[in-house]
Amino acid sequence: MKVSVVVPAYNEENYLGNCLDALMKQEEKPDEIIVVNNNSTDKTVDIAKKYDVRVVNETEQGMIQARNRGFNEAQHEIIARTDADTMVPSDWIKKIKQHFINNDVVAVSGEATTYDLSNELARQAAIQSQKSYFILMRTALGHDCLLGPNMAIRKSAWEKVKNTVCLNDNDVHEDIDLAIHIASVGEIKHDKTLIVNSSFRRFKKITSYFEYPYRTVKSVNIHKQRVMKEKSKAFVKKFVAKAFLNN
């Protein structure tokens, strides 16, 4: 079983080195690491080139576009994904591989702790908030969710959903959207022991506490509406077919 690791990166010169150092120290080495440069204007690419990684450029701006480019470029059967400001534990690849021994599992994800919150009480609050998030999403979706900096999927599952995933970062959280699409292919596994160390920087802005919940609700609602439309179309199609048969 071979693993490709995808790291989307936009102006990550202050973080990328630590991320790649952690990937280089894996007990079971990834078979390739792809850094997706999403129009960086700093030293992100220069730093990436110091490591044994493949750098690909995605000129269309956006996390979804960078992720998709990396997933499409991945050459191996398992695609692991983390963020440039995240440090994964040394057994990350090893644990990911163990889950995919089960052929029914198409994706696995875990949680994240934070390394740049000096206040221990705040750090624990952030961790507990994330645990609640996974429980809430499981209730809302009917299956486990994915967390962007700590996830892996089968390449074969990606091939089945890559043309249906949403493409607008303003409409959805890309990891929630991917989880919804990929759940139709197989089981998403949540591993409470699979924990990465991520930056809290995005939540140091007060606007994040409004933007993130808003997009979470929007992500779920968009797909619920889509399901309702598909069910309506199927009902009409069935009704019309029955009408013709009766005539």
Q: Note the pLDDT of residue 229.
A: 45
Reply yes or no on whether the pLDDT at 108 is more than 60: yes
User: How far apart, in whole angstroms, are the C-alpha atoms of residue 175 and residue 112?
Assistant: 14
At residue 121 the predicted structure's pLDDT band, cuts being 50, 70 and 90, is confident
Mean pLDDT of 112-130: 82
Crossing angle of helices 120-141 and 174-182, rounded to 10°: 40
Task: Please tell me the pTM assigned to this model.
Answer: 0.85
Q: What is the pLDDT of residues 53-107, one digit of tens each?
A: 999 999 999 999 999 999 999 999 999 999 999 999 999 999 999 999 999 999 9
Say which residue, 217 or 79, is predicted with more confidence: 79
User: How much is the pLDDT for 140?
Assistant: 85
pLDDT at 232 over 50: no
**pLDDT of amino acid 66:** 98
Written as one letter, the residue type at 205 is K
**Mean pLDDT, residues 194-210 taken together:** 76
Q: What is the CATH number of the domain that holds 29?
A: 3.90.550.10
Q: Please tell me the predicted confidence (pLDDT) of residue 227.
A: 46
Q: What is the pLDDT of residue 210?
A: 54
Count of Cβ atoms closer than 10 Å to residue 23 Cβ: 24
Higher pLDDT: 14 or 121? It is 14
Dist. CA 90–CA 150, nearest whole Å:
13
Strands (E), 66-182: 78-81, 86-87, 105-114, 151-154
What length is written for the chain? Answer: 247
> Does the structure show a pLDDT above 50 at 149?
yes
The band of 200, judged by pLDDT with boundaries at 50, 70 and 90, is confident
DSSP label at residue 167:
-
Q: Is the pLDDT of residue 237 over 70?
A: no
Containing structural domain, residue 136: 3-246
- CA distances 45 to 59, 90, 102, Å, are 14, 24, 37
**How many domains, the chain?**
1
Phi first, then psi: what are they for 152, rounded to 5°? -150, 145
Residue type present at position 43? K
Instruction: Dump pLDDT digits (tens) for 151-199.
Output: 999 999 999 999 999 888 888 889 999 999 999 999 999 999 999 999 9
The CA-CA-CA angle for residues 38, 44, 195, to 5°, reads 85
| N-to-C CA span, the chain | 56
What average pLDDT does the chain have? 87
